C-alpha cells in the first residue's frame, strides 16, 4: 500500500439510507468493492433501527425520504451520537445545504453525483476521524498540541474534549477539528478556502462551498462564545477568513 492512502478496515461499516432502490444498489456495490461493510435502509425509520443495531462508522443519508426525512434522522442521530453524516440530496439550494450542515452533518453532496466522489469524501472523513488505527482510540488521536486554556475554557487536544468551568461542551468531530485548526497558530488568519481543503478535503468550486465553513464557525461560536454575536475567541477577518486569539494576547482588525 502506498503511503498516505486510506484503506478501510473490516470494521468500517457504512449505513446507506436512500428510498431509491437503484441508488442503494449502486452505492452498496461500489462501496463494498472499495472495501467497506455496507448496510442499507430505504426510509428514515428503518435508518434509525439499522443505526442502533449496526453502530456504523459513517452514515450516507438522503434528504427527501418517506416516513421520516433525512433532516429528522440527522437531528435524532445527533442527539445521541457524533457519527459522521454525509447528506445526499437533489436539492442544490444553498439554504438546503446550510440547513443540513447546521443540523450537524459533516458533508453534503448534491445529486446527481459521481460514486467516485462520494467514495473520496467518505475516505477523507474516515481518515480524519482515525478509523483503522490500532494504537489509540480512533476518535481520540493524539495531536501534540496538548491543553489550551482560554479563561475558564479548556481545550484538550489529546482527548478532543472541551470544558468550561469543568462542564464538558459537546462538539462533533468536525467542529473540534475546526477549533484545533484555528488555534494551532493563534493570530494567523486562516482563509476559508484553506479551512475547506483541510477539513473537507476539496477546494471551493463555488460560493456555496465556502458557506459550509461559515456555518461551522457559527455553530462553534454558538457553543463556545459567551456572546456569539460579539465573538472573542474566533474572529472574522473580512474578505479573508477566520483567526483565533487568546484573550488579552492578540489584537487584530476584525469584523464579527
pLDDT of 13 above 80 = yes
Q: What are the strands, taking DSSP E only, across 4-130? A: 13-17, 37-41, 58-62, 85-89, 107-110
Do strands 161-164 and 153-156 pair parallel, antiparallel, or not at all (unpaired)? antiparallel
Domains located in the chain, CATH noted? 13-129 (3.40.50.2300), 173-244 (1.10.10.10)
Whole-number pLDDT of residue 54: 94
* pLDDT tens figures, 191-208: 999 998 888 777 777 777
pLDDT of 2 above 80 = no
* pLDDT tens figures, 199-232: 877 777 777 778 888 988 998 999 999 899 999 8
Counting Cα atoms < 13 Å in the Cβ hemisphere of 171 gives 31
CB of 126 within 8 A of CB of 6?
Answer: yes
pLDDT of 94 above 90 = no
* pLDDT tens figures, 76-85: 998 888 889 9
Going from the C-alpha of 141 to that of each of 1, 6, 73, 91, 171, the distances in angstroms are 22, 16, 28, 35, 15
Counting Cα atoms < 13 Å in the Cβ hemisphere of 7 gives 4
No. of H helices and E strands in the chain? 8, 12
* pLDDT tens figures, 26-55: 999 999 999 999 999 999 999 999 999 999
Which residues 6+ apart lie within 8 Å of 52 measured at CB? none
Task: Calculate mean pLDDT across residues 83-102.
Answer: 78
* pLDDT tens figures, 103-152: 888 888 888 888 888 998 898 888 877 653 223 333 333 344 678 887 78
Whole-number pLDDT of residue 10: 52
Q: How far apart are CA 156 and CA 162, in angstroms?
A: 6
Whole-number pLDDT of residue 145: 61
Residue, of 226 and 245, whose pLDDT is higher:
226
Least confident of 66-70, 97-101, 135-139, 166-170: 135-139
Amino acid at each position: 500500500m502506498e503511503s498516505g492512502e486510506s484503506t478501510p478496515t473490516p470494521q468500517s461499516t457504512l449505513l446507506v439510507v436512500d428510498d431509491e432502490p437503484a441508488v442503494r444498489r449502486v452505492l452498496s456495490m461500489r462501496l463494498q468493492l472499495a472495501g467497506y461493510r455496507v448496510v442499507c435502509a430505504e426510509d428514515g425509520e428503518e435508518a434509525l433501527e439499522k443505526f442502533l443495531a449496526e453502530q456504523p462508522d459513517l452514515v450516507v443519508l438522503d434528504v427527501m425520504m418517506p416516513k421520516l426525512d433525512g433532516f429528522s434522522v440527522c437531528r435524532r442521530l445527533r442527539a445521541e451520537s457524533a457519527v459522521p453524516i454525509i447528506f445526499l440530496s437533489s436539492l442544490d439550494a444553498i439554504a438546503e445545504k446550510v440547513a443540513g450542515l447546521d443540523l450537524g452533518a459533516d458533508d453534503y453532496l448534491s445529486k446527481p453525483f459521481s460514486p467516485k466522489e462520494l467514495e473520496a469524501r467518505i475516505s477523507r472523513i474516515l481518515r480524519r476521524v482515525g478509523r483503522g488505527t490500532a494504537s489509540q482510540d480512533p476518535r481520540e488521536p493524539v495531536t501534540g498540541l496538548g491543553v489550551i486554556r482560554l479563561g475558564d475554557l479548556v481545550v484538550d487536544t489529546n482527548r478532543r474534549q472541551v470544558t468550561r468551568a469543568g462542564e464538558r461542551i459537546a462538539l462533533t468531530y468536525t467542529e473540534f477539528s475546526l477549533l484545533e485548526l484555528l488555534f494551532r497558530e493563534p493570530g494567523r488568519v486562516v482563509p476559508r478556502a484553506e479551512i475547506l481543503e483541510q477539513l473537507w478535503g476539496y477546494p471551493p468550486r463555488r460560493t456555496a462551498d465556502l458557506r459550509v465553513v461559515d456555518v461551522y464557525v457559527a455553530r462553534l461560536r454558538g457553543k463556545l462564545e459567551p456572546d456569539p454575536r460579539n465573538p472573542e475567541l474566533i474572529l472574522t477577518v473580512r474578505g479573508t477568513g477566520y483567526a483565533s486569539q487568546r484573550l488579552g494576547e492578540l489584537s487584530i482588525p476584525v469584523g464579527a
